Amino acid sequence: MIEEPGCARAGDTALLIGKDRREYLIRLESGRVFETHRGVLPHDDLIGQPWGSAVKTHLGHPYLLLRPALSDRILHLPRVSQIIYPKDAGYILLKMNIGPGSRVIEAGTGSGGLTLALAHVVRPTGRVYSYDVRADMQNLARRNLEKADLAEFVELILHDITDGFTETGVDALFLDVPNPWDYLAQAHAALVSGGFFGAILPTTNQVSRLLEALQGLPFGLVEVEELLQRPYKPVAARLRPVDRMVAHTGFLIFARALAAPTLADTGTVAAEGEEAGDVCQTVDA
Ligand SMILES: C[S@@+](CC[C@H](N)C(=O)[O-])C[C@H]1O[C@@H](n2cnc3c(N)ncnc32)[C@H](O)[C@@H]1O
């Protein structure tokens, strides 16, 4: 079959969704066969089909053939560590102003959940420097990045961040490690002045410890946030939330790296004023 633009091609990653909403992420390869309990589908029957088509197994069960969204790729990642979920990853990107051309450091790499999101948006001229102490983690992340065609935008660095980061002047730096408070001086040294710092932590006592450590260094505009995402059953006549939700993933902590004299000049800037932080003001330009 001729491979038209807008159609699934050999080498593409496809998302197949059955009537039961079960999802499968597969790499299309001529000669291979996709097998489920609802029958088999030769990849050659999928290659050349327009995205959005319904295709049937040999038992007549339909599957929707879709190009996966980045969030699908992240949720389907083979993983051995907790990943950063799309709901948090999307906000992290916006909050830390990460986009095409950004130079970003993250640690640890883990299974590469956040790495995928970072690489996706820094393309084509930006770069992600992703640190981890574990080679097995980075090997898994490398495979995950290769499958998503994003490996060329990422440098995987097998190194303990206790020793600091090789890069300097980076636009943003994100820590997903159990003890980020131990690496704040290293993070500050790597960030451009005014650059974006972020971290994710699962418990409030870890957050308190990080806040205390941030106060001792030239960081300002500290914020702690948690995102709750509640999906709904999309049935017009009986619209209501689904029975289950991912209630807690982690607390997000953001701060800006300040030039050291700024801290001395303003005194309290690192401790984000409670009064000012709660008020939304519109200022005429
Ligand atoms: C929860 S995982 C990161 C998950 C990742 N953000 C994702 O979305 O897939 C934490 C990782 O931090 C790494 N790590 C912990 N301490 C580290 C250190 N001092 N230097 C470098 N990596 C570290 C661990 O090996 C682990 O792979």
The tokens of 160 are what? 């303990």
**pTM more than 0.85:** yes
Minimum CA distance residue for ligand 1 atom 5: 110
Tens of pLDDT, residue by residue over 46-90, are: 999 999 999 999 999 999 999 999 999 999 999 998 999 999 999
Q: Is the CB of 182 under 6 A from ligand 1?
A: no
CATH number of 13-68, picked from 3.90.320.10, 2.30.110.10, 3.30.70.890, 3.10.330.20:
3.10.330.20
CATH number of 71-274, picked from 3.40.50.150, 3.20.20.70, 3.90.1150.10, 2.40.70.10:
3.40.50.150
Beta bridge partners of 157: 131
Tens of pLDDT, residue by residue over 131-171, are: 999 999 999 999 999 999 999 999 999 999 999 999 999 99
**Long-range Cβ pairs for the range 131-136 (8 Å, 24+):** 131/105, 131/106, 131/107, 131/157, 131/158, 131/159, 131/161, 131/165, 132/107, 132/108, 132/156, 132/157, 132/158, 133/108, 133/158, 133/159, 133/160, 133/161, 134/108, 136/80
According to the model, what pLDDT value does residue 247 have?
Answer: 81
Reduced to 3 states (helix: H, G, I; strand: E, B; else coil), residue 166 is coil
Q: Which of 71, 130, 173, 176 to mutate to test the pocket of ligand 1 (most atoms within 8 A of CB)?
A: 176
Q: Is the CB of 81 under 6 A from ligand 1?
A: yes
Least confident of 200-204, 254-258, 271-275: 271-275
How far is ligand 1, taken at its centre, from the CA of residue 9, in Å? Answer: 35
Tens of pLDDT, residue by residue over 9-40, are: 999 999 999 998 899 999 999 999 999 989 99
| 13-68 and 71-274 agree in CATH topology | no
Q: Where are the domains of the chain?
A: 13-68, 71-274
Q: Does residue 119 have a pLDDT over 90?
A: yes
Q: Is the CB of 137 under 6 A from ligand 1?
A: yes
CA distance 103 to 116: 14
